């Protein structure tokens, strides 16, 4: 695919943005590239400084495309950092290099936390083997209590290495002995050797490499036998021990295309000592294994399988200390409607677990083999009924919204679908929305989940997902998991399926509804006059105990003002979740409480480019418009909203919606596309 990569230059300057940006991503690519997407100069400086402290950097700069490429990619900042060594290639990276790059990311996560950004998730969003995890961050919400009052800037890492080693990076010394003892008892062949890679008498943490007897991470590839169960049990037990020292599971990141690395964040104000952990393993093509799941929860999961998986449960057995369910059909080897049904089932399972006092706190992938899907790490929590839904990324260019909860009202589903449709149509040429089984599907032009191509489709796809998170989160949806639930691979010629090859589908995002995050979202066409007049009347939210300074990204706009603007956005009762709704979302019917369907905005204001493009007319989706439109800007939720004027025929291209039909199942909304002017794909 290298010959299809776009040709670009690097520059010291990027497009002007108003900071702090709301959402951004960090993409890791073989062999040594870190790509920052939708960032401003302050974020670039923060990440760049942490990297150059420990690892040598070869080249860096803002990605500058040609004029015809900008007309398709849009105007957002892409910043590339090319490292001096191949840190993201499994066979070339030494143990010391892999340790060093993870120490760097511990520092990056901590610095971004101090800058006001919380890590959201890490996702595998590309079919090609060159692109590994993309890490998403969001600007901290003053209404989100946990990060503001309970978390801190300290991160550590537990990283499987090669086939038989595990790295303990920045782990507190007081926990090391207990971790080593637990690993020795959990992994029956035991520990072969211990090597201290970094230890300072003045430090409270240490970096240690443990070499295990046997090959736990190689055994995990085949996902069968006692070894694969024990390999996952090692991670669960380490997470349990770290919780007793107030370290919570934060994120799992794929650096090299092999086993994930697991990052933990210190939570000094949380009592995690008595919290229990367990796991659900998606195994083979049709197995669901419960590892350390309480016996009282097993009947609940069994009932959930029979209720929400349309082929139900075939058999149950004990398997090396786990309870294994064999499901009908092949839910983890599926495409078409079965792929939607399997994600619908997983979403319902996550909601059922939360209702019974267990929440998904993370996932783990110990290999990228087709037999090895994600393992859900569950943590004991207070029981709560929460609506749930998921967004899946399928084939090379599909986005599917699967609303799986009957607790979502018609208004809430309409608002969610409308906001997603607006965002997709404003930033991409797309077909849809349309009915596809129990999902609502959009088909994007190009191949954002396959390759960069001539117009940087992969990078643009990540930018689009940043914008989707930006509009979904204020509606009250919290992203709880990015998960691989599919085993189906294409053969090298992409004419059929095989055991090894490109994945048919990519990660799926699972959401739970959190009322504390819901705000009265500003319609996309509004200006900032309604919000700016109230900024002075709002009080500042309480600061995090570890946050003693103003927001570092507030050179143009101070954080207290931004927080005051967010404090203005209170919970709305217009779209509260209620049960019993059976009508179908209709994007063509714009209710008084719903934002207008297509009112274009862009999160990056155009004050004139620093790249020699100022005042020039450019092409966007085949239409000419002037970059400087005399727009109005507003600050709400930490980003700038811009009201512009697209050509009339552009609005026709964006025209798509849902047609209301009666007598349909609640979970199968009827959708008809009216995009008559879209080009065929």
- Looking only at Cα atoms, what is the longest distance across the chain? 71
Q: Is the per-residue pLDDT at 671 higher than 50?
A: no
**Averaged confidence pLDDT in the chain:** 77
Q: Is the per-residue pLDDT at 214 higher than 50?
A: yes
Share of the chain above pLDDT 70, in %: 71
How would residue 451 be classed by pLDDT, with cut points 50, 70 and 90?
A: confident
Beta strands in 484-588 (DSSP E): 489-490, 497-498, 502-503, 505-513
At 99 the pLDDT is 95
Dump pLDDT digits (tens) for 240-297. Answer: 999 999 999 999 999 998 899 999 999 988 887 778 999 999 988 899 999 999 999 9
More confident residue, 609 or 65: 65
At 247 the pLDDT is 95
Dump pLDDT digits (tens) for 221-244. Answer: 665 688 889 999 999 999 999 999
At 220 the pLDDT is 65
Q: Is the per-residue pLDDT at 578 higher than 70?
A: no
How would residue 500 be classed by pLDDT, with cut points 50, 70 and 90?
A: low
The full 3-state SS of 610-664, as one line of letters, equals CCCCCCCEEEECCEEEECCCCCCEEEECCEEEECCCCCHHHHHHHCCCCCCCCCC
Asked if the peptide bond before residue 20 counts as cis, ω within 30 degrees of 0, the response is yes
More confident residue, 197 or 517: 197
Dump pLDDT digits (tens) for 122-139. Answer: 999 988 888 999 999 999
Tokens linked to 65: 């495309």
More confident residue, 39 or 223: 39
Q: Is the per-residue pLDDT at 21 higher than 90?
A: yes
Mean pLDDT value of segment 73-86: 90
Q: φ and ψ at 36, to 5 degrees? A: -100, 130
Please tell me whether residue 431 adopts helix, strand or coil conformation.
Answer: strand
At 520 the pLDDT is 61
At 3 the pLDDT is 47
Mean pLDDT value of segment 395-408: 90
Choose among 466, 472, 506, 501: nearest CA to 486: 506
Please tell me whether residue 183 adopts helix, strand or coil conformation.
Answer: helix
At 293 the pLDDT is 96
Q: Is the per-residue pLDDT at 417 higher than 90?
A: yes
Share of the chain above pLDDT 90, in %: 53
Decide if 443 contacts 398 (C-beta within 8 A). yes
At 90 the pLDDT is 83
Picking from 103-112, 371-380, 462-471, which range would have the lowest pLDDT averaged per residue? 371-380
Mean pLDDT value of segment 486-491: 73
Dump pLDDT digits (tens) for 308-324. Answer: 999 999 999 999 999 99
Mean pLDDT value of segment 648-669: 33
Mean pLDDT value of segment 71-80: 81
Q: Is the per-residue pLDDT at 30 higher than 50?
A: yes
Q: How far is CA 615 from CA 247, 284, 577, 607, in A?
A: 52, 57, 47, 10
At 121 the pLDDT is 97
Q: Is the per-residue pLDDT at 672 higher than 50?
A: no
Q: Is the per-residue pLDDT at 621 higher than 70?
A: no
Q: Is the per-residue pLDDT at 303 higher than 90?
A: yes
Mean pLDDT value of segment 588-592: 41
Choose among 35, 17, 52, 49: nearest CA to 115: 49
At 675 the pLDDT is 39
For the chain, give every domain's residue range: 151-269, 275-522+569-598+655-681
Write the class of the CATH domain 151-269: alpha beta
User: What does pTM read for this prediction?
Assistant: 0.77
Distance CA 371, CA 381 (A): 30
Residues contacting 300, CB < 8 A, separation 6+: 352, 356
Dump pLDDT digits (tens) for 158-167. Answer: 999 998 999 9
């Amino acid at each position: 695919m290298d010959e299809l990569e776009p040709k670009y230059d690097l520059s010291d300057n990027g497009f002007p943005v108003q900071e702090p940006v709301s959402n951004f991503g960090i993409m890791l690519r073989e062999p040594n590239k870190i790509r920052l997407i939708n960032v401003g100069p302050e974020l670039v400086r923060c990440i760049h400084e942490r990297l150059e402290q420990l690892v040598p950097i070869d080249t860096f700069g803002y990605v500058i495309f040609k004029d015809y490429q900008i007309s398709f990619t849009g105007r957002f900042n892409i910043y590339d950092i090319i490292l001096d060594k191949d840190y993201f290639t499994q066979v070339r990276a030494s143990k010391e290099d892999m340790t060093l790059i993870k120490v760097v990311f511990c520092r990056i996560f901590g610095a971004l936390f101090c800058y006001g950004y919380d890590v959201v998730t890490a996702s595998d969003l590309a079919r090609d083997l060159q692109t590994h995890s993309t890490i998403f961050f969001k600007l901290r919400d003053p209404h989100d209590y946990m990060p503001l009052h309970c978390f801190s800037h300290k991160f550590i890492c537990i990283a499987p290495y090669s086939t038989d080693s595990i790295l303990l990076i920045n782990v507190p010394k007081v926990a090391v002995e207990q971790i080593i003892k637990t690993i020795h008892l959990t992994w029956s062949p035991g520990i072969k050797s211990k090597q201290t890679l970094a230890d300072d008498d003045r430090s409270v943490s240490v970096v240690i490499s443990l070499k295990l007897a046997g090959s736990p991470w190689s055994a995990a590839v085949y996902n069968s036998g006692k070894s694969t169960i024990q390999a996952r049990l090692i991670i669960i037990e380490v997470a349990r021990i770290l919780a007793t020292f107030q370290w919570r599971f934060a994120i799992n990141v794929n650096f090299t295309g092999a086993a994930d690395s697991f990052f933990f964040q210190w939570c000094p104000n949380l009592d995690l000592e008595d919290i229990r952990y367990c796991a659900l393993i998606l195994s083979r093509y049709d197995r669901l294994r419960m590892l350390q799941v309480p016996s009282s929860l097993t009947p609940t999961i069994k009932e959930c399988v029979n209720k929400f998986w349309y082929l139900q449960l075939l058999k149950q057995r004990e398997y090396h200390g786990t309870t294994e369910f064999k499901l009908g059909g092949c839910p983890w080897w599926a495409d078409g409607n079965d792929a939607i049904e399997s994600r619908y089932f997983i979403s319902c399972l996550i909601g059922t677990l939360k209702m019974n006092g267990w929440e998904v706190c993370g996932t783990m992938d110990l290999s990228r083999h087709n037999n090895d899907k994600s393992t859900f790490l569950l943590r004991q929590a207070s029981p709560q009924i929460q609506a749930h839904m998921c967004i899946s990324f399928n084939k090379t260019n599909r986005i599917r919204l699967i609303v799986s909860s009957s607790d979502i009202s018609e208004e809430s589903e309409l608002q969610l679908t409308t906001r997603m449709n607006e965002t997709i149509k404003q930033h991409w040429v797309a077909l849809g929305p349309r009915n596809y089984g129990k999902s609502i599907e959009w088909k994007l032009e190009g191949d954002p989940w396959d390759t960069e191509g001539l117009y940087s489709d992969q990078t643009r796809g990540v930018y689009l997902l940043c914008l989707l998170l930006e509009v979904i989160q204020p509606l009250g949806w919290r992203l709880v998991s990015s998960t691989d639930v599919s085993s189906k691979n294409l053969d090298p010629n992409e004419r059929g399926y095989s055991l090894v090859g490109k994945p048919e589908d990519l990660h799926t995002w699972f959401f739970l509804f959190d009322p504390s995050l819901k705000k009265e979202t500003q319609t996309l066409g509004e200006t900032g006059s309604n919000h700016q007049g109230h900024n002075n009347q709002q009080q500042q939210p309480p600061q995090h105990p570890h946050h003693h300074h103003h927001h570092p990204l507030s050179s143009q706009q101070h954080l207290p003002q931004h927080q005051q603007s967010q404090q203005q956005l209170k919970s709305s009762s217009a779209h509260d979740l209620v049960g019993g709704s059976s009508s179908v979302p209709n994007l063509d019917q714009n209710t008084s409480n719903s934002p207008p369907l297509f009112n274009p905005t862009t999160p990056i204001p155009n004050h004139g480019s620093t790249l020699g493009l100022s005042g020039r007319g450019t092409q966007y989706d085949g239409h000419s418009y002037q970059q400087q439109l005399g727009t109005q800007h507003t600050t709400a939720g930490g980003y700038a909203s811009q009201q512009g004027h697209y050509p009339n025929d552009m609005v026709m291209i964006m025209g798509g919606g849902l047609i209301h039909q009666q007598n349909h199942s609640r979970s199968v909304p009827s959708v008809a596309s009216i995009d008559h002017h879209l080009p065929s794909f």
